[in-house]
Amino acid sequence: MLAFRLEPDDGQPVYVRLYAQLREAILTGRAAAGTRLPASRVLAAELGLSRNTVVAAYTRLTDEGYAHARGGAGVYVASVLPENAAFAALASPDALETMPPVLSARGRQLAAMGLEGGSACPVPFVADVPAFDVFPLESWIRLMARSWRQVQPDMLGYASAAGHAPLREVIAQNLRATRFLRAAGSDVIMTSGSQQSLDLLARVLLDPGESVWVEEPGYAGVRSAFIAAGARLVPVPVDAEGLSVEEGRRRDPSPRLIFVTPSHQYPLGVTMSMARRVELLAFAQSCGALVVEDDYDSEFRYAGTTLPALQSMDRAGRVFYLGTFSKSLLPTFRLGVLVPPPAYAAVFASAKSVIDRHPPLLEQVTLLSFMRSGQFAAHIRRMRRIYRERQTVLVEEITRQMGDILHMEPSDAGVHLIGTLKDGRDDQAFCAGARACGILLRPLSDAYLGPPARQGVLFGFAAIPPRRIVAAVRRLAAYAHNSDDGALRPARGGSAGPAA
Ligand SMILES: Cc1ncc(COP(=O)(O)O)c(C=O)c1O
């Protein structure tokens, strides 16, 4: 009746493999309801197994309801299986693979808007990541090992949802000193990065259908988080002073939330002027809107001084400040901070506990040591020098090797630059062509929610050492100058040919 051989060893105990095969035979109907299974002695002899092994498999089948023992009269396939009829119909692996997932409206949004990840060794010119090659990994490993050696029993259970209190204190101190933030340690909530802070903000502050002003162009992660929460996004153009409050007011006079990157607009790089900051806060207060300030890369300013955070000017308790260690350290640590207005601190800590409890404690303890020992500040100073050099090399090489195709200006801040395509070239086609020769570029038009007002190409330079920048630009220039693709070729037989 059950003509089968035991499947090859997959690391499971033999009785489990036998049980799985018998269960499969029952679920697919090969062993029909009411069928008597072979006597354990018979099956053991047939398969060359011990009788105990077969008995163990039968016992598991009967324990789980797939079969039942009739006293000494043998073991029979159950007439009603534990899985209902619908499940049994799906039990074939083919059905499992072709079955479409049934999702909530929120689930459909989340599935449609996943963010990229898993870039292996940084490909030139991947954006939004810091330098991996010069991160002080040895020091971090030493501090991490010390954190584990000094661990106390009370650090091994669930920790505080708002984060490790001494770390929150040091971060608040640091934000007061560098960003003039009005925050005590108790106002700081540790999150696993800005993406989680945004998700938390969207869930706690927005009801479906409420409107959110987002910068146009803007950061995809922000759009995804708010759309997934069911918000209605209102793209508000960015001009030379930052988000245009006037235009925003025209498009939607009473937003629930306004998202901005005032210190270094993503991706255009504009710093929001003081006049615009005052206008924005006054508008928010007048219509009761809340403001989210994403301060994602303010550590990296190469000339002049960074304006204090918008949050430092907030007297009405409306600004939620977001910081991240993804640029200042590494994205893989998944550590960020959310500083809500004081009235919201307890609410957010509570909501955070429901979502993921808290970020791993030992990483927080290690970060605390890294900051207290002065290594964090030293790392930022060093990275500023390194990034400035990488930026200079990129601008020089682009100008020298393909200035006929792309115009690129240096910037006082940030870890990416935007190149402007000459002669009306299409940024999507240009970036697709670059990808074909192993160069990762992001079209500026992707950063628009509506029709793009501007074309351009986003180059991340932080992760790429100077030698690789030179080689990559050479590859890109050679491709652009020799390609048959009209989007890449210089329109009028360019003068700056590829370097020898
Ligand atoms: C505008 C902006 N905000 C935040 C982040 C950082 O996100 P996270 O902290 O989730 O890594 C980035 C990363 O590229 C960004 O571009």
Question: For 320-349, what is each residue's pLDDT tens digit?
Answer: 999 999 999 999 999 999 999 999 999 999
Q: What are the two backbone dihedrals, phi and then psi, of residue 485, each rounded to the nearest 5 degrees?
A: -70, 120
Q: Which of 200, 238, 324 to mutate to test the pocket of ligand 1 (most atoms within 8 A of CB)?
A: 324
Q: What is the DSSP string of 474-493?
A: HHHHHHHHH-S-TTTS-TT-
The atom number, within ligand 1, closest to the CA of 266 reads 1
Residues of the chain with confidence (pLDDT) below 70: 1-5, 7, 83-96, 118-120, 484-500
pLDDT at 95: 64
Q: Which domains does the chain have, with CATH numbers?
A: 14-98 (1.10.10.10), 137-373 (3.40.640.10), 380-482 (3.90.1150.10)
Reference 27, options 83, 103, 76, 109; nearest CA is 83
Pairing of β 232-239 and β 242-243: antiparallel
For residue 11, the CA-to-ligand 1 centroid distance in Å is 42
Q: Can you tell me which atom of ligand 1 is nearest the CA of 331?
A: 11
| Element containing residue 51 per DSSP (H, E) | helix 51-63
**Four-residue CA torsion sign, 83, 85, 88, 94:** negative
Rg of the chain over Cα atoms, rounded to whole angstroms, equals 30
For residue 27, the model assigns a pLDDT of 86
How far is ligand 1, taken at its centre, from the CA of residue 348, in Å? 20
The residue among 130, 449, 462, 190 whose CA lies nearest residue 322 is 190
Residue-level pLDDT at 365: 96
From ligand 1's centre to the CA of 280, what distance in Å? 22
Distance 292 CA to ligand 1 centre (A): 13
Q: What pLDDT, on a 0 to 100 scale, did the predictor assign at position 130?
A: 95
Residue with tokens 């429901």: 354
Q: Residues 413-465: pLDDT tens digits?
A: 999 999 999 988 899 999 999 998 899 999 999 999 999 999 999 999 999 99
Q: Give the residue ranges of DSSP H helices in 313-409.
A: 345-356, 361-372, 375-402
166-169-170-172 Cα dihedral, nearest 10 degrees: 160
- What are phi and psi for residue 10, nearest 5 degrees? -115, 20
Contacts of 321 (CB under 8 A, 6+ apart): 175, 179, 181, 183, 293, 295, 309, 310, 311, 337, 338, 339
Q: Would you say 213 and 259 are in contact if contact means Cβ atoms under 8 Å apart? A: yes
Q: Are strands 416-421 and 406-407 parallel, antiparallel or unpaired?
A: antiparallel
Q: How far apart are CA 286 and CA 176, in angstroms?
A: 27
Per-residue confidence (pLDDT) for residue 494, from 0 to 100: 38
Instruction: Please report the pLDDT score of residue 87 as a whole number.
Output: 56
Ligand 1: residues with CB < 6 A are: 128, 193-195, 219, 261, 266, 294, 296, 324, 326, 331, 336
Q: Which of 43, 53, 51 is nearest to 14 (CA)?
A: 53
297 CA distance to ligand 1 centroid (A)?
8
Mutate to test the pocket of ligand 1, among 126, 215, 326 (most ligand atoms within 8 A of CB): 326
Cα of 242 vs its chain's centroid, Å: 25
Taking the centre of ligand 1 as the mean of its atom positions, its distance from the CA of residue 36, in whole angstroms, is 62
Strands (E), 244-289: 257-260
Q: What are phi and psi of 207, to 5 degrees?
A: -100, 155
Nearest to 320 by CA among 294, 284, 286: 294
